[in-house]
Structure 1
Amino acid sequence: MRVLRAPAHDGAGGPAVPGGLPAAGVLRPHRGGRRRRRALAAGRGPVPERRRADRALRGRRMMWRDAYRPGRGGGEPRGVARLVGDSPPMRDLKEKIPRVAAAPFPVVIDGESGTGKELIARAIHEEGPRRAAAFVAVNCAVLGDELFESELFGHAKGAFTGAGQDRRGLLELSSGGTVLLDEVAELTPRAQAKLLRVLQDGEVRRLGENRTQRLDLRVVTATNRPLDAEAAEGRFRRDLLYRLNVVALTAPPLRERGPDVARLAEHCWKGVAEAAGSRATLARETVAALAAHPWPGNVRELQNVLANLTVTGPRYGPVGPGALPAAFRTAAPAERQPTLAEAREDLERAMVRDALGRHRSVARAAGELGVTRQGLSKLMARLDIDRFNPGRDRLAQRPSR
């Protein structure tokens, strides 16, 4: 008979068992799995079995920790993992975002329309200490003076005609988290003055109320017109500019991102094809034609072109450059015949995705395709097809490095 001391904690900073345990326990011969499991939980089992139980517990804790860490685990990518691309401008941006997110200062993101400024703002929020709180995006371009106050500050019941109940404003709703003021350069002078007062005082007063509400939020602004140039022209208040422009980031235009265009095209195609129910793939010549386009509308234009292809192009097999709009076909490189290996790979990818999409079972899909389950699994690994989402490659779900 051995006397073993029970562990004081579970290896993660908490008690091994809620309510605590005696300092020591006695291991006695016993029968039945229930008593054995109780002894292991109390830390009184044989050393090898206790070690195996501890390893299993640690693995379970790490699984849950990674599942809720931005950019880790399953589900939608978060943080910098949202940003697709490894061109020099994108690498520089990805390196800056975690440092910017860790600081509490206001951020201005400038860049052309369609470059993904809101995506960058979300990445800042999700990489920072406020990630568990709300992220609220406000389109300032559609807010006039009265609507600006009602939407951002909120209002009391009866504050104006149609105000049938109290309503919290977007700034109050985002307290504790992050608010994105998109197209902030479009605010009227009156709205700029009211926003400046709120940022200076750190509190907001709803329309029709006398009392104020304290705010605790991170302010991120986005604009497609440089604020310093707007201030020089007298269209933007300099005191508000100095309040907002503490940290500045630039969203690079797509034409400056070089090899990112091809990767973005593949990434965006998976999303629009899945939404449209298309099982087609992009041919290499089509991706090359997309990469050669200057993209004045940036990523938004790329997404719209790909969405159009899901409607006008074939629903199965590779989509050739002939399906692109005329502007792309004139700039596209001469279409060449694919090699036998390329054609076979495109056909295999289309057939495997089609079979998996119908059956949702590797074994049944293998039976339809006339291969073994192991053979289909190896083929899926070679073609980088995700068994749980055949229309999306596995690499597209991994966070960018």
Structure 2
Amino acid sequence: MLEQLELFSRYLTVDAKFPDNFLIDQPCCKMVLEAIRYKPYSLQILNQLKLPHQLEYDDITGSEDGWNAIRDMRTRGAPAIAIVAALSLAVGLHVGNLSDSAPEDVSAYIVKKLDFLVTSRPTAVNLADAARKLKKIVESAAKVDDNDGAAVVMAYCDAAAQMLISDVSDNKAIGKYGAEWIEKLAPGEQVSVLTHCNTGSLATAGYGTALGVVRSLHAKGSLKRAFCTETRPYNQGSRLTAFELVHDKIPATLITDSMASALLQLKGPSDRIVAIVVGADRVAANGDTANKIGTYQLAITAKHHGIKFLVAAPRTTIDLQTKCGADITIEERPGKEMTMMKGPRFDGEKLDVNQVEVVSIAAEGIDVWNPAFDVTPAALIDGIITELGVVEKSKNGEFDLTFAMEAHNESVKPSSIGGLYAA
């Protein structure tokens, strides 16, 4: 595991050579942004609140730091939240004095910390799912004869580190299957797609889910242009997705959230805008999907304009215990995120990144409703892109997502195999 992590860390920053059996296939991951830097005993996250103007990494020294980083949205995106939470506890365990404790005491301590980390953000299912699996691992390790506290700590840390490595492999598979499905909409032609919020390297361990599909289309020469929404009020699209697209030299155009319908009406299929591809924080058993606020209205306009609407998410984001979207808890954020904006000072010619200012953009005293997510009904979704393939609706118009149960019963993250295209 230590050797694999060292290779993974080098992989994201240099053009290195890797053994054929290494989990990550190098061509599609080369030079992606590194939002999570982890080595045993050390974790750093790219502070996404300072993007796109400053690249600054924050040290995470334990679960409290991890909880605060997730809650403050210095790190965000459903897969990344789960990984940062798990690794923050791993770092804290390394610097703690638990090795001499009884294995059952170490297990109880880890379980308590995982419960605490799950409270950081309630909507994304990945964190709760990862915590449940990690609990099973440490509880099993504590019951093994001759295992001491150090063995339980090691079992947890190895499992948490594996999440980081496996997530990239899953994302690459999502990108591959999503790109192939979209290419069939316009055989032999370049296509354009629209995406919402940020679902790339900054929201995952690397490569991305919905943005991974965009990356795969671009790598194959099939992408004409990517359109990204600003994603108010936190502007993940304009700050983060646009930053990744520029970084990767992918042809792209930024639009405001309110321009999407006009874009599809004016350019739509005639300009080969064939799909809207978004990520997900939770997919209910019936296919209803919670994602960043603004997703629902995009699904409505896609249906009206005859454009495919796709959700890209690993199987662990599919929550079979949640029957439908009405059962998903929607996080509400502070109103000041809508009434205030923060950014570096612009003197008319250049930005001064050392002078960050907060400005008011709303009438003082106005009431604010600021849900972070909305739910898109399954009826508006044409396909769910997973690491095993694109799931389409059956003839009765329903998604069969029961195959995701396997992912929730595996160790921490599933391995990617084959393709799945539901009839």
TM-score when normalising by structure 1 = 0.25
Which structure dedicates a bigger proportion of its chain to helix?
A: 1
Which protein is bigger by CA-based radius of gyration?
1
Which structure dedicates a bigger proportion of its chain to strand?
A: 2
